[in-house]
Chain A
């Protein structure tokens, strides 16, 4: 009842056409539009633009950084490979040198050994010769003395005269040698 009265009061007053704008409608619409326009124009869009620029820079920076890292890695790899090759070559060289050195050392050692052996042999022979000579000399003098003593005893004459004694001894020895060679010849 009350409702009917009220709706009659409100609907009956004026008929509205949806395409005829009211002044307040246009006014408030404009106000809304201007507020939103200023908000987007002066606040949102500049901030978003700044952020997009930063993002672009960040992406570019990261790409550049990645490129740099890639380049560094490649350079390091190259250097490493080169170093490895150098090391290999050097190792080969060292091995070669060592082998040659070894050969040389062996040869030298051989030479030294040979010459040492020769020297030892030579010195031994020299010593033997010297000892033989000294033995010969001492033997001769001893044999001479004994022989002289013996002979002196036999002939009763002193063979102190050196010249005579020497001659006797020499003759005796020569005879001895001759007899020895003759004996040797017989046994042959």
Chain B
């Protein structure tokens, strides 16, 4: 845990160090200057590592994302290289994950046929979010790849395009009619209902998808940094009896680390489930 705490503290500083020249490698050592450094939003905007200033800029968080992608590819490539009819332990675990999306999300909500059509999108969403969320509690990575707006936004756009595509493919006129003019409502009510439906279906949905995921990850990271930075401060800067308070903050940090693992799973599941629900509403005959 302590390693995590130190890494959390030093991580943002290290980018600064990389930015500057070799002299500045001394900077991480200067954190014990007696002041308390709380986390800030700048943690999510570390300095560039490569291609600074271009549209291909790569900073620490982009690197964390690449690591998550490589880990994901590696796990699933190794896991599905020799698939057996009677699965081993590792294969059972992978199948459990894949079945969560295939059975509990895709087939339960969309049925066998549509479930199979949208399975690649849903599976990709779930595992991409899961792997990029979980980096938030992995030592030395210590930041979720989804805590910067790019991934949540791209996935929300994918979700948005997918459910509109699903609805339009099914029946263009029914889709917009059902979405904007729900049946069983007397026509004057449409004056109020239609703008609300328009807003909720075509504006609120992608925005909430994006913000829910990103804010969960940002807040989780800030909480962890806060607890571990406080531990660092109480134990090493103040010392004495304050060490006890530091032990308390460390315990909270540990508890929230576990909680973050849960949140990582939960947010991946919620994002995928909501996308499936939107697709299901779009392909449904009537509301």
Which residues of A line the B interface, CB within 8 A? 1-3, 6-7, 10-11, 16, 18-30, 32-33, 35-37, 39-41, 43-45, 47-48, 50-51, 54-55, 58
Q: With A and B bound together, what is the CA distance between A11 and B145 in angstroms?
A: 21
Stretch at the interface among B117-125, B225-233, B268-276: B117-125
A18 touches B83 (CB 8 A): no
A2 touches B24 (CB 8 A): yes
Question: Which residue in chain A gives the minimum CB-CB distance to B13?
Answer: A3
Please judge, given known A-B contacts A7-B16, A37-B121, whether A25 and B69 are in contact too, CB under 8 Å: no
Name B114-137 residues within 8 Å CB distance of A: 119-121, 123-124, 127-128, 132
Q: With A and B bound together, what is the CA distance between A13 and B101 in angstroms?
A: 44
Question: Which residue in chain B gives the minimum CB-CB distance to A17?
Answer: B41
Cβ-neighbour of B66 out of A6, A30, A32 (below 8 A): A32
Shortest B41–chain A CB gap in Å is 6
A33 touches B218 (CB 8 A): no
Q: With A and B bound together, what is the CA distance between A33 and B214 in angstroms?
A: 16
Interface of B is mostly: helix
Please judge, given known A-B contacts A19-B211, A29-B65, A55-B85, whether A24 and B124 are in contact too, CB under 8 Å: no
B57 contacts chain A at the CB level, 8 A cutoff: yes
Q: With A and B bound together, what is the CA distance between A19 and B57 in angstroms?
A: 18
10 nearest A-B residue pairs (beta carbon): A25-B150, A29-B150, A41-B120, A51-B83, A24-B57, A29-B154, A16-B45, A29-B151, A37-B124, A23-B55
A26 touches B80 (CB 8 A): no
A-B contact pairs, 18 of them (CB 8 A): A1-B30, A2-B27, A3-B33, A6-B24, A18-B149, A21-B153, A22-B57, A24-B57, A25-B148, A28-B58, A29-B155, A32-B66, A33-B124, A36-B69, A37-B120, A43-B80, A48-B80, A48-B83
Task: A32-B151, A48-B80, A48-B83 are known; give 19 further A-B pairs, CB within 8 A.
Answer: A10-B16, A16-B45, A18-B41, A21-B149, A23-B55, A24-B51, A24-B55, A25-B149, A26-B150, A28-B62, A29-B151, A32-B65, A32-B145, A36-B73, A36-B128, A37-B120, A40-B120, A43-B76, A44-B123
Name B69-95 residues within 8 Å CB distance of A: 69, 72-73, 76-77, 80, 83-85, 95
> Count the A-B residue pairs with Cβ separation under 8 angstroms: how many?
129
B72 touches A36 (CB 8 A): yes
B85 touches A51 (CB 8 A): yes
B26 contacts chain A at the CB level, 8 A cutoff: yes
Please judge, given known A-B contacts A16-B45, A18-B214, A48-B80, whether A27 and B69 are in contact too, CB under 8 Å: no
Please judge, given known A-B contacts A29-B153, A29-B154, whether A10 and B30 are in contact too, CB under 8 Å: no
A39 touches B76 (CB 8 A): yes
A45 touches B44 (CB 8 A): no
Shortest A54–chain B CB gap in Å is 5
What chain A residues lie within 8 Å of B158 (beta carbons)?
33
A48 touches B98 (CB 8 A): yes
What chain A residues lie within 8 Å of B13 (beta carbons)?
3
Q: With A and B bound together, what is the CA distance between A47 and B91 in angstroms?
A: 12
What chain A residues lie within 8 Å of B51 (beta carbons)?
24
B56 contacts chain A at the CB level, 8 A cutoff: yes
What chain B residues lie within 8 Å of A6 (beta carbons)?
16, 20, 24, 27
Name B15-37 residues within 8 Å CB distance of A: 16, 19-20, 23-24, 26-27, 30-31, 33
